[in-house]
Amino acid sequence: MARRLALEADALAWIDAELAATDNLLATHYPGEAVGRQPVHTVYIPAGAYVPELPARWSAEALAVAKAHGGLEQLAVFLDLADPAQLAELVRRKLETEPIEDLRVDFEDGYRKHDDDEEDAAAERAGELVAETVAAGTAPPFIGVRFKSLEAASRARGLRTLDLFLGSLTEHAGGRGLPDGLVLTLPKVSTVDQVRAMVYVCEKLERAHGLASGRLRFEVQVEMPQLILAANGTAPVARLIHEGSGRVAGLHYGTYDYSASLGIAAGYQSMEHPAADHAKNVMQVAAAGTGVRLSDGSANILPVGDPGNVRAAWALHARLVRRHLERGIYQGWDLHPAQLPTRFLATYAFYRDGLEAAATRLRNYVHGTAGTVLDEPATARALARFIDRALTCGAVEEAEFIQLAGVPVVQLRSLAYPPRSAGAEGTP
């Protein structure tokens, strides 16, 4: 005889009704990790310096500076990275084929002072050049513009630049439409109201250029302490994600503006300052489960000049890249071609160091094999996403992964990004 349940249909119906708002909140505001590629870095170029051949120039400069200091393999040895020969070969290929994953044409801090006519012309020219490089297949996978902030002093100028850039880009793209990897960057955000204003701007621009609703999304640069802690004690960086109408694509930490706003002396402004870690910890918690991605900031100690300075700057940059990767932030900023060797060496070493263990655990999970670690669906997703990032950026080759894990890449990606209907726990 079946046991009678205490929680019958009417009780379950009451619970469903009581939790309907929670169900809707989780479904609409916490969709989970964003599917698709995230670049490992963003390169900022002053608008006046942007030319279509810039990635090729950075490639040549990065390889030349590495060669001048003993080559990529010797740099890997200097950085005490495992398997330096293989690492150097993978990074050489990367620098030759895709030296820049994400490029931002900068009309803000990197642009300095230009009169309105000059900036108007530069904005239109930037849109034309981006369209040209995308059509030629020579643009980085992600490319876009950073315009001036929505603070009162720069608001009109910044929005005019964005308007001109997007109009020019749309015109010169013709029937091809906007690039899939188009990125707009909103700097120096201090309130949620500025994000709502940017949503309105996107809506207006979409209507003006015949774009689909929701096509334009933007990154928010977290450079002001008011986003981390407001006067009422809340964290506006969390609210802005949910009040951005699905348009906020990323949160990027601004190392030097944020540090300066706190009164930190210039010599101590760094991506690893405790104040920086606090801000990024808040950003990370705010973005968790929303699909909004994080990026660390930049290192402004450049590997230029005498050999001692170059090596010291490389060591610092590689350490900072590894540091943010270990903390679950998979993107940063680069400001100079000589930073590319350490960006990719440190990134590739991070993934390769963890590859064998991650592939073994994933193989055991998928095939139900006993191992030294008992993984559950959440950790299997994390393992799959780790390996997917490694494959996407070029740190690991598909054949190498398949040999280690015995799992096809299509299955890897279904584990990494299970359908929402699979439930919070997912399925192996």
Q: What is the full DSSP assignment across 195-232? A: HHHHHHHHHHHHHHTTPPTT---EEEEE-SGGGTS-TT
370 SS3 class: coil
Instruction: Give the span between the Cα atoms of 428 and 421, in whole angstroms.
Output: 14
Instruction: Give the span between the Cα atoms of 81 and 42, in whole angstroms.
Output: 23
Q: What pLDDT was estimated at residue 213?
A: 95
Asked if 295 and 329 touch (Cβ cutoff 8 Å), the reply is: yes
User: How many CA atoms lie less than 13 Å away from 271 in the CB half-sphere?
Assistant: 25
Instruction: Give the span between the Cα atoms of 359 and 183, in whole angstroms.
Output: 33
Phi-psi group of 58: left, alpha or beta (phi > 0 → left; psi -120 to 50 → alpha; rest → beta): alpha
Calculate Rg over the CA atoms of the chain. Answer: 23
The one-letter amino acid code at 386 reads: F
Asked if 330 and 389 touch (Cβ cutoff 8 Å), the reply is: yes
CA angle 100, 41, 148 (to 5 degrees): 95
Q: Domains (ranges, CATH) in the chain? A: 41-338 (3.20.20.60)
Q: What is the pLDDT along the chain (428 residues), one digit of tens a residue?
A: 678 888 889 999 999 999 999 999 999 999 988 999 999 999 999 999 999 999 999 999 999 999 999 999 999 999 999 999 999 999 999 999 999 999 999 999 889 888 999 999 999 999 999 999 999 999 999 999 999 999 999 999 999 999 999 999 999 998 788 999 999 999 999 999 999 999 999 999 999 999 999 999 999 999 999 999 999 999 999 999 999 999 999 999 999 999 999 999 999 999 999 999 999 999 999 999 999 999 999 999 999 999 999 999 999 999 999 999 999 999 999 999 999 999 999 999 999 999 999 999 999 888 877 666 656 788 889 999 999 999 999 999 999 999 999 999 999 999 998 876 444 433 32
Instruction: Give the span between the Cα atoms of 300 and 307, in whole angstroms.
Output: 17
- Angle of helix 155-173 relative to helix 116-136, nearest 10 degrees, comes to 30
Q: What pLDDT was estimated at residue 339?
A: 98
295 SS3 class: strand
Q: What is the phi/psi pair of residue 325, to 5°? A: -65, -45
Instruction: Give the span between the Cα atoms of 88 and 133, in whole angstroms.
Output: 28
- Render the burial of 11-26: b for 16+ CB within 10 Å, e for the rest: eeeeeeeeeeeeeeee
